[in-house]
Amino acid sequence: MLSERQEQIIETSIKLIAQKGIQGFTIKNLSKAIGISEPAIYRHFESKTQILLTILDGFTEMANILSGLINNNKLSAVQKISFMFNKMVERFEETPSLVSVIFSEEIFKNEEVLKKKIIKILNTNEETLEAIIRNGQKVNEIRTDSDEKILALMVMGSLRLLVKRWDLNNNKINLKNEGKKLLTAINKVLSK
């Protein structure tokens, strides 16, 4: 569990990345934004990479929780996908600056440990969706003329594009409403 100061460092880091990009995310800028010294930050996190890993831990936890919830309930496949989709939309809507972190390819390109972490998160979400789709296909709820991997990619890619468009438009579109429209279309495409 993170200390109060660590939580503050994480929240400020996310905001700093959203405002200045990964290039502007330095320990010096972070210490200025919080109002503490650089050594004080290093007492809580050993490096900038450690801060980013901690941010990604939140997404790992969310992916694992969603996977567990979805695997343990009696909803239909389409309802499970809707639940997962809506939870992700809610998470981004609650903390818009997370979009800059999770969808920032330049953060992960040159840091192998970060790249591995984001791949693990993506794989967990992808595997969860694929399992839902595969099970839905078995019980004749989801179309069987397309592979579950392709259908899962369509869902994930649609969500990513929607959230990124929302972010690039400075959150001026209603993410929840646009998400509902997109989800309705996705459900029509997936349903048998």
Are 96 and 183 found together in one domain? Answer: yes
pLDDT at 131: 93
Q: For the chain, what percent of residues have pLDDT higher than 90?
A: 65
Same domain, 7 and 77: no
Rounded average pLDDT over 158-177:
94
Question: Do 39 and 85 belong to one domain?
Answer: no
Please give the residue range of the domain that contains residue 90. Answer: 55-190
Q: What is the per-residue pLDDT across 83-121, written as a single tens digit (0 to 9) for each?
A: 999 999 998 998 888 888 888 777 777 789 988 998 898
On whether both 74 and 148 belong to a single domain, the answer is yes
DSSP H or E segment with residue 80: helix 77-94
Let me know whether 93 and 174 are in one domain: yes
146 and 128 within one domain: yes
Burial of 84 (C-beta count, 10 Å sphere; 0-12/13-18/19+): buried
Task: Give the pLDDT confidence of 10-65 residue by residue, as tens digits.
Answer: 999 999 988 888 888 999 999 999 999 999 999 999 999 999 999 989 888 888 88
Q: Give the pLDDT of residue 58.
A: 85
| Residues 102 and 35 occupy one common structural domain | no
For the chain, the average pLDDT equals 91
Q: Assess whether pLDDT exceeds 90 at residue 188.
A: yes
Give the tens place of pLDDT for each residue, 133-167.
999 999 999 999 999 999 999 999 999 999 999 99
**CATH classification of the domain holding 68:** 1.10.357.10
d(CA 132, CA 126): 10
pLDDT of residue 22: 80
| Model confidence, pTM | 0.86
Handedness of CA 55, 57, 62, 63 (dihedral sign): positive
Q: Which pLDDT belongs to residue 40? A: 95
On whether both 110 and 181 belong to a single domain, the answer is yes
Whose tokens are 């004749």? That residue is 140
What is the reported pLDDT for 71? 73
- Tell me, yes or no, whether 181 and 145 share the same domain: yes
Question: What confidence score (pLDDT) does residue 169 get?
Answer: 93
Residue with tokens 């989709």: 85
Q: Tell me: do 117 and 182 sit in the same domain.
A: yes
Note whether 27 and 62 are same-domain residues. Answer: no
Look at residue 67 in the predicted model and tell me its pLDDT.
83
- Shared domain for 35 and 70, answered yes or no, is no
How many structural domains compose the chain?
2
Q: What is the pLDDT of residue 95?
A: 86
